[in-house]
């Protein structure tokens, strides 16, 4: 009888360990279907095809995107936390004379975040959250659609493009340097 109790205890312990481990789900799982502490994985390497350096010109400015892949990025939706494979975008914007207007390539602070949070596999599109510039001016969504092996199409939908002196000090640059447009083509370098 004592052996049965020990075996039962071991089986229960193993079951509890296995059931507590994080669940792995595809990266395009809707937020409502993601359990707390789950891992959204790029199982089919959908993100990998976007990794690289891309350039485009818009209104006299040259925009360079540096897209990399990060595994198990911690995401906090407010109601739950989970980990996801994501694309991280750093960028440089230069004017026609070559002066750098904005450079996030070596910026490790979270005040200018730009990362993927949803994949529309059937549309070859990845949706990114952009945290905006200083005081979050310009925060919103950016859609990158894979056109072919060397080109992606850009669409930027800012949710807030202004600020007040009460919410942001006057000495901070709140200019949105990213192109506020649709169907801008970036070419892989």
Residue 173 has pLDDT above 60, yes or no: yes
Average pLDDT, the chain: 85
Query: Which one is predicted more confidently, 67 or 21?
Result: 67
In this prediction, residue 165 has a pLDDT band, given cuts at 50, 70 and 90, of low
User: Can you tell me the distance from the alpha carbon of 71 to that of 39, in angstroms, rounded to the nearest whole number?
Assistant: 10
Retrieve residue 93's tokens: 């914007």
Q: What is the pLDDT of residue 133?
A: 83
Q: How deeply is 34 buried, as exposed, middle or buried, from its count of CB atoms within 10 A (0-12, 13-18, 19+)?
A: buried
Chain segment 91-123, per-residue pLDDT in tens: 999 999 999 999 998 775 555 779 998 888 778
Retrieve residue 167's tokens: 């919410």
Q: What is the pLDDT of residue 97?
A: 96
Cβ contact 115:107 at 8 Å: no
Q: What is the pLDDT of residue 111?
A: 57
Share of the chain above pLDDT 90, in %: 59
Mean pLDDT, to the nearest integer, of 28-45? 92
> Which residue matches tokens 């995107």?
65
The pTM of the full predicted model, rounded to 2 decimals, is: 0.82
Share of the chain above pLDDT 70, in %: 83
Helices of type H across the chain: 2-20
Residue 13 has pLDDT above 70, yes or no: no
In this prediction, residue 175 has a pLDDT band, given cuts at 50, 70 and 90, of confident
> Which residue matches tokens 């350096």?
53
């Amino acid at each position: 009888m004592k052996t049965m109790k020990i075996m039962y205890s071991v089986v229960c312990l193993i079951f509890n360990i296995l059931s507590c481990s994080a669940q792995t789900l595809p990266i395009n799982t809707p937020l409502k279907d993601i359990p707390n502490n789950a891992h959204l994985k790029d199982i089919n390497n959908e993100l990998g095809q976007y990794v690289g350096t891309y350039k485009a010109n818009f209104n006299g400015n040259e925009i360079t995107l540096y897209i990399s892949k990060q595994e198990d990025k911690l995401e906090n939706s407010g109601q739950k936390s989970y980990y996801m494979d994501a694309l991280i975008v750093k960028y440089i914007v230069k004017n026609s004379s070559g002066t750098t207007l904005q450079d996030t390539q070596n910026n490790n602070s979270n005040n200018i975040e730009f990362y993927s949070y949803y994949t529309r596999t059937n549309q070859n599109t990845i949706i990114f959250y952009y945290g905006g510039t200083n005081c979050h001016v310009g925060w919103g969504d950016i859609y990158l659609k894979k056109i072919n092996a060397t080109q992606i199409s850009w669409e930027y939908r800012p949710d807030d493009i202004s600020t007040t002196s009460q919410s942001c000090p006057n000495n901070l640059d709140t200019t949105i340097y990213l192109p506020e447009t649709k169907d801008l083509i970036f070419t892989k370098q």
